[in-house]
Amino acid sequence: MTYTIPQYLLDKSNIEEVIVKVPLYYDLKSYSSLLSDCYAPVLLVDYTSLLGGQPFTISSTDWVTNRVAPIIQGYLSSQHVTTGIVLPDLPQPSSPNQNHSRPTTVKVYAQVSGNLVSKDNNREGGTKLVQNGGYLEAEVKRFDDLEQEGKNPWRITMYKVVKGWESGDGGVMEHAREKIK
């Protein structure tokens, strides 16, 4: 079966939506939505350039419940942004001379940034804030059962954040470094 223009556009939109939901759901503290809308049952997580440690494979429930939620709840406020999403492996629709199949996995690259405000702001000098940015490397997988249920079939199986820069009080992220181990 050839990869059609409508299917390509739907896949592209669905993949981009899954990727941009992650930072929004972090900031909304919508942990159940991360599980239902974004992550595959098991994923590879790599925040080593931001938080140290090693990449690890973890169930999405464990990741969200025991890592993401405690990290995000440790901030007074957060704003995560993902933009500039690129899908280099998503093939263009087939022409009469080509026969591309619909992919089951797709690599994703994007620009990411975060603004994090510490709950511990009782010090001289005002608010403890850290800002950082870099890029995201991710992989998404298509799940046929979700598609048959009429849902977005794409879920994240690998999520790697690579820090490019940081400004402000790096100590704001210390509790996150402890939770990621």
| pLDDT band (50, 70, 90) for residue 119 | confident
Mean pLDDT, rounded, of the chain: 92
Contacts of 82 (CB under 8 A, 6+ apart): 19, 20, 22, 23, 110, 111, 112, 136
Q: How far is CA 144 from CA 90, 91, 150, in A?
A: 17, 19, 10
Contacts of 157 (CB under 8 A, 6+ apart): 40, 42, 43, 44, 105, 139, 140, 141
User: Which pLDDT score, from 0 to 100, does residue 97 have?
Assistant: 64
pLDDT tens digits, one per residue of 125-175 = 677 899 999 999 999 999 999 999 999 999 999 999 999 999 998 888 886
| pLDDT band (50, 70, 90) for residue 68 | very high
Domain, as residue range, for 62: 5-180
Statement: the pTM of the whole predicted model exceeds 0.85: yes
Q: In CATH, what number is assigned to the domain containing residue 95?
A: 3.10.450.50
pLDDT tens digits, one per residue of 9-30 = 999 999 999 999 999 999 999 9
Share of the chain above pLDDT 90, in %: 75
- The count of structural domains within the chain is 1
CA separation for the pair 49, 57 (Å, rounded): 17
Q: What tokens does 80 get? A: 């995560």
Looking at the chain, which runs of residues are DSSP E strands? 39-46, 56-59, 75-86, 105-118, 129-142, 154-168
